[in-house]
Amino acid sequence: MKEWMKFIPASELETYNKAGLGNRLQLGGRAALVVVDVTYAFTGSEGLSLEEAIEEYSTACGPASWIAVPKISQLIEIFRSLGLPIIFTRSSPADTPFAGRAIKSNLPSDADQRSNEFPQAVMPRQGEWILEKTKASAFFMTPLPVYLVKQAVDTLVVCGVSTSGCVRATTVDACSHGFTTFVVDDCCFDRSEFAHAANLFDMDAKYASVLSLDEIKVLMLQRAGAKASL
């Protein structure tokens, strides 16, 4: 059993399974990766406790961030090696005057340039799209749907932060837009272990298939091998 599943009561897991919720989805013809908000505003500096990270940035997730970041880096490299689209999201520096807050808490000030930067391990390369957004979902009032249609994408793989916030909002909207959606559990993080687990459980039941990095890697490479043999 995965670690996050241990937070879910066994009786509820059983009930959901009997109801047929959480059935495994199949990869479509072409996938894209959405890396949600993995910036210092949501990680804090490496090596800090959660309390210290929150002192640095109130939105930071602390140690959970730095457990996930190396795995996110591996996931990014899988998509790069397969030549598939990658979208990196972050908060728009211009969101406050006309769009209001993305979340109830204040994001770090625009004056702190580092807060909206990506850690080196997940730094976008030249030509990879950085999508700035004003709300939790990467889809809300952005050109993302048009881009995905143009790229002939039918499957989205989602990772990043926070599991209970922007990852969840992006996943629900991905499903609503008709994309087959996967969430990579060990490539997501949250400041709350409980919220992380509860939201993975709910997304897996209703909107996506929640897989590990190892599981999605096998699926992606199998699909790439099958296409190469055609």
Question: Are 196 and 188 in contact, with CB atoms under 8 Å apart?
Answer: yes
Q: Domain limits of the chain?
A: 26-95+112-228
Question: Are 42 and 161 in contact, with CB atoms under 8 Å apart?
Answer: yes
Q: Looking at domain 26-95+112-228, which of 3.40.50.800, 3.40.980.10, 3.40.50.40, 3.40.50.850 is its CATH number?
A: 3.40.50.850
> Which pLDDT value is given to residue 230?
45
- pLDDT score of 32 more than 50: yes
> Which pLDDT value is given to residue 105?
60
Question: Are 174 and 156 in contact, with CB atoms under 8 Å apart?
Answer: yes
> Which pLDDT value is given to residue 73?
98
Q: What is the 3-class SS of 2-13, one letter each residue?
A: CHHHHHCCHHHH
User: What are the tokens at 38?
Assistant: 């993995």
> Which pLDDT value is given to residue 111?
52
Question: Are 48 and 170 in contact, with CB atoms under 8 Å apart?
Answer: no
Q: What is the chain's mean pLDDT, rounded?
A: 92
Helix (H, G, I), strand (E, B) or coil at 167: helix
Distance between CA atoms of residues 177 and 77, nearest Å = 26
